[in-house]
Structure 1
């Protein structure tokens, strides 16, 4: 369809010199440049971005204000570690994060470079503050690839196989997936049996006074962008308060306005004790933040979470400008409007395309399931459709076997959205007509 010879050469060189553990491939897309929601590969082909760099580019690729802020700061100071010294941009950003995160109480921030180290930091702070070691997380959760974050995760055998043991003290319970409820309950009469699992553990083998924290994805990301019932989230938070357990919200993927709120946990009326932020915090620059109650932050003394290059001035200025752009361009409100538009158009497409299953999500985090004629998950179809979308000019990925992950930059235009959905429709039609060969499955492995 398109000439991608240069891209294929980059892929071949990559396979020779880069460890395969660093990528789950979908198609041979070698990105070279971009602007907003438009990307270009090494061959000069243009694509609409429905992935936002794994939800790390809420302001789009190379937003001119982000680029200007980075250039201006880079000419003054790239980095001089705040591990020993002081630098104003890190203070300004911490002040701003205290304003936009939920909770009317004093807060402090600890910085890092990635979502994984933010989760590691949250674990350390929770254990130190409470004097407890236990950490509750959820089956199907993905929290990162460092040992602490990986120990908290429970989704992929490939990530754990052959590198154990994991860190001790982690306990995994069922995350609510109402459409696939193992207890066969209905939302209107649900007894929250998944929450009872934790209560039963507290009564039998897991003393609640030895649990430091519960870490939750307010939207289950890599399981397929699953939105839990608000009642479950609120009662889980109440259970934490009852037992003095810290409530940690992992906002690495869903934060910074993506879901129609600054942070996804705000949809549930719950104020967390600790929030982990990364990805879009600095519009793709390497920066993470653990924002927490001040007394929790003060419990861990130096150098308990000291990372040499964390909060470098360039990344902090990018993050400050990111927040200003989200505010100035009303991107939180726009994410709601654009997301509702996408869901409405997908609902219309379903009338003619029965392999489009459940659509769900908040703001511009949208999951579209691909199913077979029996309504069962169809990973092969999903992978083929994803690959054909790339061939036609749309960057999109999939999760959890059969879920198309629709997470475009918040700056995407109505025209780009319309064209992207048309490419998706055309790609589905190609699949239905048998025009996508099995050979693409050799490359389109996706998240394992």
Structure 2
């Protein structure tokens, strides 16, 4: 008899670090196909998370699987730190041509979004000769020391591990929940931009600042899109002062938002650097820093060298991933299904007063669960919802405690999407009726 979910979890608890998993549901994923996952007990789930937006092309896409198998039979690994391999050469050209960056572009490989964001810091400091880095509250850039220093989404990302990378300054991200009830959008943008400028006016010399990095649409920070005028002003401020402007596309890139890159929702903004990871190789460990040629060339080897970065198998998988995105029109599919899902969630918002806001950008977004009496985030109700959704056969998690994270694979079949949405509606109806039972470990679940 194969081991069950419970047996495998009991085995794992003896050996696995508690710092390495955010607790949600005690299941062991055994296999996946498209948008359907199967656990060790044989239960099936509609995936509404895409492995944290790392499997935009779904699970075990046949074209990606074939590319992995074909490449593995030829060459699994030889480090690009010393010698090129054919898939990484081809992929570098493709990514450079796809990048939303003006002028000649170059690529540097990594193994995860975390080290890609570390790389951005290195390249920016090397090019500008400056030290200071500006990032935003609510950001999630990764868990290496550089990327965890620029992140601002969880206290447990900084607790007990300081000192962090010096020279990092955080400014408030213009998330909608920071907008005052009586404040117009223009007033909100003006106030947030004043908060952005305050460090530069008081203690942070702009002429010693190398980089401003932002998620144009924050993911783990709550699925909040920066107002267009705000982002434009930050971008113009950066270039006015010789500061490089970088965008983290790890979570929101590769078609996730209904455009290939999230920054393409802001057509007048052209970053100097972007970080790519997660879905670039359909979940295999690969990332890239893509940037203006002169910026990337400012750093000499071995300043950004990793033994397995640009691995032949992962880059072959990435080439196949880009082919799937193009051939199956996943960018357009994300846009169209996202509009369909947004309409559905807005209908639910009219039905359930505990839905505070719906923010979808492509097949991707957040649904705020709030206390109807106060309008404040209701973590307990959100956790009850995702646990009931799990019991009914779909996987969904929360971010910021009270926000439902909605990121199904872009290949999800329409009937599976409808089933997943129906499950969400059933759970919400049960929450309204007061029939959902709280899991015994309610307070341990989530970020």
What residue in structure 1 maps to residue 225 of structure 2?
Answer: 227
What residue in structure 1 maps to residue 164 of structure 2?
Answer: 166
In the superposition, the TM-score normalised over structure 2's length comes to: 0.96
Q: 1:68 to 1:385 in 2, by over 3 A?
A: same
Of the candidates 105, 108, 122, which is equivalent to residue 106 of structure 2?
108
Q: 2:189·2:227 contact (CA, 8 Å) conserved in 1? A: no
What residue in structure 2 maps to residue 416 of structure 1?
Answer: 416
Whole-Å separation in 1 of the counterparts to 2:344 and 2:444: 26
Whole-Å separation in 2 of the counterparts to 1:426 and 1:33: 26
Equivalent residues in 2 for 1:27-426, closer than 5 Å: 27-181=25-179, 185-269=183-267, 270-374=269-373, 375-426=375-426
Whole-Å separation in 2 of the counterparts to 1:49 and 1:430: 21
Deviation per CA, 1:357-393: give whole Å up to 9, x if none. 2001210111111112213211001011101111110
Deviation per CA, 1:89-140: give whole Å up to 9, x if none. 1111110001111123111111010010000000000001000000000112
Mean CA deviation greater in 55-64 or 174-183? 174-183
Mean CA deviation greater in 189-198 or 207-216? 189-198
Mean CA deviation greater in 344-353 or 11-20? 344-353
Deviation per CA, 1:249-273: give whole Å up to 9, x if none. 0001001010011110110121100
Structure 1 position 155, deviation (Å): 2.0
Q: 1:47·1:394 contact (CA, 8 Å) conserved in 2? A: yes
Q: 1:356 to 1:183 in 2, by over 3 A?
A: closer
Structure 1 position 183, deviation (Å): 9.4
Mean CA deviation greater in 171-180 or 273-282? 171-180
Q: 1:259·1:362 contact (CA, 8 Å) conserved in 2? A: yes
Mean CA deviation greater in 363-372 or 280-289? 363-372
Whole-Å separation in 2 of the counterparts to 1:191 and 1:335: 28
What residue in structure 2 maps to residue 433 of structure 1?
Answer: 433
SS of corresponding position for 1:354: coil
Deviation per CA, 1:56-81: give whole Å up to 9, x if none. 00000000000000000000000100
Structure 1 unmatched ranges of 5 or more: none
Structure 1 position 9, deviation (Å): 1.7
In the superposition, the TM-score normalised over structure 1's length comes to: 0.96
SS of corresponding position for 1:439: coil
Deviation per CA, 1:389-439: give whole Å up to 9, x if none. 111100111101110000010001111111001111111222233333333
Whole-Å separation in 1 of the counterparts to 2:248 and 2:337: 24
Whole-Å separation in 2 of the counterparts to 1:126 and 1:197: 23
Q: 1:57 to 1:191 in 2, by over 3 A?
A: closer
Q: 1:310 to 1:12 in 2, by over 3 A?
A: same
Q: 2:189·2:230 contact (CA, 8 Å) conserved in 1? A: no
| Paired positions, count | 444
SS of corresponding position for 2:11: helix
Structure 1 position 163, deviation (Å): 1.0
Mean CA deviation greater in 249-258 or 193-202? 193-202
Whole-Å separation in 2 of the counterparts to 1:303 and 1:184: 53
Structure 2 unmatched ranges of 5 or more: none
Q: 1:256·1:281 contact (CA, 8 Å) conserved in 2? A: yes
Q: 1:384·1:441 contact (CA, 8 Å) conserved in 2? A: no
